[in-house]
Amino acid sequence: MKQKDVLEKHNNKRRITMKKTKLFSILMLVVFVFITILFIPGCKNEAEQKVIKIGAILPLTGWSAEFGQHERAATEIAVKKLHESYPNWQIQLSVEDTESDVKNAINAFQKMLSTQKPGFILVESSSASLALGKLFDENKIIMLSISANPEVTQKAQFVFRNFPTAEEETEKVLEYALKKLNIKRIGLLYINNDYGLGYKNPFEKYAKELNGELVFTDSYSSETKDFKPVIQKLINSKAEAVYIVGYGSAMGLIIKQLREMNYTGTVLACSSVIYDDVLSISPGSVEGVIFTDIPYDVENGTGETKEFVQEYSKKMGKLPSPLAAMTYDGIMMIIKQLVAENGDPAKARESLLKKGEYEGINGKIGIPFSRDLKYQLIVKEVKGGKGIIIE
């Protein structure tokens, strides 16, 4: 009996052990299933989520900081919108401040290249775009350039210039001045850098073609404070109108001192005349200045335009400038194409050129093989601190 009892006791113990083992196995299976349900979908989504790295090399400080601030805000709004539109794509934005210095723009590009390797970068200014163009080509990175100098796209193949060309602006303003206002004698005063120089040749060309007489031409430095000597030369030339090319406080000072010296001719200007850095110098002096601009309706837009205006106003505390609107359209256009081409910059470049146009908040934007994006231009006059359409 004792041996039988011992055997029975052993079998009972073995059955208990087997039950525990089976229970443990079931428990581990439940845990495994739970972990699988909890974590695998997230891993799957992360694996499916693709990345587009983009950059922005902008003057966030320094004398042209106003432009950079407009562009940064518009870029961030565009990226947010694209995140909502493409949940399977992660768009990583890196921003570098050039401090309005071309050398810093080059350093910023080298930094991005070594750390981020973006497929697309926004660049502000003609000087920075010209300095960086060949580097973008070598690395097959798309540049969206905010610049007026036509050489920007002529010297580099991966650059899309997202701003009316100096040729387009000068032709439009001269047609209005010489044909509608019947002006004959005209002068040109431009900032002495790549931006201003981009206007000189086309202005001279169209003045001649439209039978105008160019009686005065001069340049100036952005550091100049006293423009009275050059203004006196302009007055002595008996120019009936003067076209001012520039931006920022220097442009504001020129217009202010023109009024102070009682220049009686018509003052014409490039599109930057309507920005705060110019207007703030002497708001009253800028009244009556005639300039070219895109037909962007900031106050009566609908759909995505209205949404952009609301987002920008909330972010910046003011209405978006035409520059901000053009930046938004350019960012949206290129990133959408990068998504369509699985993040490949070379393929995105080619397909954009084949497409030929893009519908944005500024209406239809032409994409010619020159890569100079085509916006419709209109003529405005500064009235009450705003640009009012006159043609």
- pLDDT per residue, tens digit, the chain (391 aa), is 445 554 455 455 555 555 555 555 555 554 454 544 444 444 444 446 799 999 999 999 998 999 999 999 999 999 999 999 999 999 999 999 999 999 999 999 999 999 989 999 999 999 999 999 999 999 999 999 999 898 999 999 999 999 998 999 999 999 999 999 999 999 999 999 999 999 999 999 999 999 999 999 999 999 999 999 999 999 999 999 999 999 999 999 999 999 999 999 999 999 999 999 999 998 899 999 999 998 877 777 788 999 999 999 999 999 999 999 999 999 999 999 999 999 999 999 999 999 999 999 988 999 999 999 999 899 999 999 889 899 8
Run of H or E residues at 75: helix 65-85
For residue 146, the surrounding DSSP H or E stretch is strand 142-146
Answer left, alpha or beta for residue 353, where phi above 0 means left and psi between -120 and 50 means alpha. alpha
Which residues sit opposite 363 in a β-bridge? 360
- Supply the pTM of this predicted model: 0.81
Q: Which residues of 46-79 are buried (b: 16+ CB within 10 A; e: fewer)?
A: eeeeeebbbbbbbbbeebbbbbbbbbbbbbbbbb
Write the DSSP symbol of residue 321: P
* H or E, element range at 269: strand 266-269
Cβ proximity of 58 and 19 under 8 Å: no
Angle at which helix 228-236 crosses helix 248-260, to 10 degrees, equals 50
Whole-Å CA distances, 240 to 187, 216, 271: 8, 11, 20
Give the closest residue to 118 by CA, choosing from 371, 310, 348, 357: 348
> Which CATH topology does 50-164+297-373 take?
Rossmann fold (3.40.50)
Domain 166-293 top-level CATH class: alpha beta
Distance of CA 201 to the CA centre of its chain: 25
